[in-house]
Amino acid sequence: MSNVLNALGLALLHSLWLQLAITIFFFALSRFFIISAKRYGVLYLGLLVMPVSFLVTSLWVYTPDVTDHFTDSIEHVWKSFALTLSEQNYPASTSHSLTWVLPLLVAAWFLGIAFFSLRLIAGGLFLRGIRQAAKPFNSALSTKLNTLLDRILFSQSVKLELSETISSPMILGVFRPIILIPVSLLSGLTLEQLELILLHELAHIRRYDPLLNALQSGIETLFFYHPALWFLSRQIRHERECACDDLVIKLSSEPLAYAKALSHLESLRIQKQLALAATGGKFMNRIQRIVKPQGNLAGQKLLAVSLLSCLLLAACSSQLLTSKDKTASLASFTSVCLTTHVVTGKYVMPAFNTASLRAMTQVLAASDLELLANCDDASVGLSYSMAFDARKLNWQAQLSATNPKGKVLWSGLRSDAIQEDGAFQYTTEHTAESLLKDFLSARAK
């Protein structure tokens, strides 16, 4: 189970830069689109990429243990990633300096998820109370609702109810949505303005925004710690409201009347983060879009190009620096030390440790590297670990090269089934030789 915690901890650390890069990329990409619905789609795609990237990273850095029951359940997934790790020389092992920190980091993450989950549950109970206190709506606006449903070409059944608790229209429910209308609006807006506000709420339902908003809240709960996620989430909510505004204007052709209705709602607004309300998003920006649709499109595209250029430059610079650092580090050392750890289940196998050491020593004897017994004096430490599963007749082996500071310079991984019963020692020697030759080939490059 410790391997799983280490993988989750490393994925959390990697998510700090990875989700920032995802946010910058998709935000910049959205600036190329004029229509808010398309911007919303691009931004929401970026939001969905975040949990996917976290899952992929967790599998990428996960190091299986044949004594770990979790390995059995993801064995078929791991085998596909093992090849990728071998090909790209990704450091699969966790640095010793982080081993004790990662479980604490995961524990703090789980506590944060629990807190934000309770926050979601409390918000849901609060909205449920509002729903139970609502009353059926018996007026001309109920008749208007059926007319608007036909007008918006939407066949789903939608209820309309009156609430004394809220001060802005909102939608409750995901699969059976209910539109709540505050009592205060009945005397503050004309029937035509109420119709426009109601059309905005129906636009949310037509676009399946209640469901997407619920999914968005779930992703916010998982990655509550990342400011980039909250920035992207705010942009998504703004573009969601703008997309509904565009749909209302398209169907009504009354932008000024709609802007006046929204202005009146803003004066009575109460923020409801868990529900969709007509006054959400960046309100003044929405009003400006309605009254004057054409904005600074050239400036938006220039911003997008600048952000994408900076992101590409950072990625290229990081790759170049990493390549130079690894090449210089691998090529500069002249001495190595060897350590091995071969186990079957929970038992260390001294004979196989000796066999793997002997096999690697013979390979090093033909190279230009000096083999030292003391790792404190060596330029690079080579650590070879191998785990047998006698019950399944398979094995997993890894060779890692670290500098004196503990930084992983190279890592190779092999995993396969034992072809013949009792061929453990041959497998150990052959695998140790093969991994060491891979390492020497990488050093020669």
- Residue range 313-360, pLDDT digits in tens: 766 765 555 555 555 566 667 788 888 888 877 778 787 888 888 888
Q: Listing from the earlier edge strand, what are the strands of the sheet with 178-182?
A: 135-136, 159-163, 178-182, 170-172, 276-277
Residue 86 has pLDDT above 60, yes or no: no
Whether residue 386 contacts residue 413, with contact meaning beta carbons closer than 8 Å, is answered with no
Do the Cβ atoms of 196 and 261 come closer than 8 Å?
A: yes
Show the tokens assigned to 199: 């059309």
pLDDT single digits (tens) 282-307: 666 677 666 666 555 666 667 777 77
416, 333, 325: which is closest to 375 by C-alpha?
A: 333
302: CB partners within 8 A, 6+ apart: none
Lowest mean pLDDT across 129-143, 232-246, 376-390: 129-143
pLDDT at residue 35 in the model: 86
For the chain, what is the radius of gyration of the CA atoms?
A: 30
Q: What is the DSSP string of 190-255?
A: -HHHHHHHHHHHHHHHHTTHHHHHHHHHHHHHHTTT-HHHHHHHHHHHHHHHHHHHHHHHHHH--H
List domains and CATH numbers for the chain.
2-104+300-322 (no CATH), 117-297 (no CATH), 333-444 (3.30.160.670)
Choice among 35-39, 166-170, 351-355, 422-426 with the minimum mean pLDDT: 422-426
What's the confidence (pLDDT) of residue 89? 39
Beta bridge mates, 211: none
Tens digit of each residue's pLDDT (9 = 90 or more) over 89-145: 334 344 444 566 888 888 999 999 999 999 999 988 888 888 888 787 666 666 666
Specify the higher pLDDT residue, 190 or 91: 190
Residues in the chain: 445
The DSSP H or E segment spanning 69 is helix 69-73
What is the structure's pLDDT at 259?
80
42 three-class SS: helix
Whole-angstrom CA distances from 261 to 278, 284, 290, 307, 383 are: 10, 13, 12, 36, 70
**CB atoms near residue 76 (< 10 Å):** 8
Q: List pLDDT tens digits, range 407-443.
A: 778 888 888 776 655 566 677 888 888 888 888 888 7
CA distances from 48 to 12, 41, 101, 216, 235 (A): 17, 11, 28, 9, 14
- Name the average pLDDT for the chain: 76
Q: In sequence order, what are the beta bridge partners of 383?
A: 339, 400
In the DSSP assignment, the letter for residue 373 is S
- For the chain, give the percent of residues with pLDDT over 70: 71
Contacts of 251 (CB under 8 A, 6+ apart): 151, 152, 199
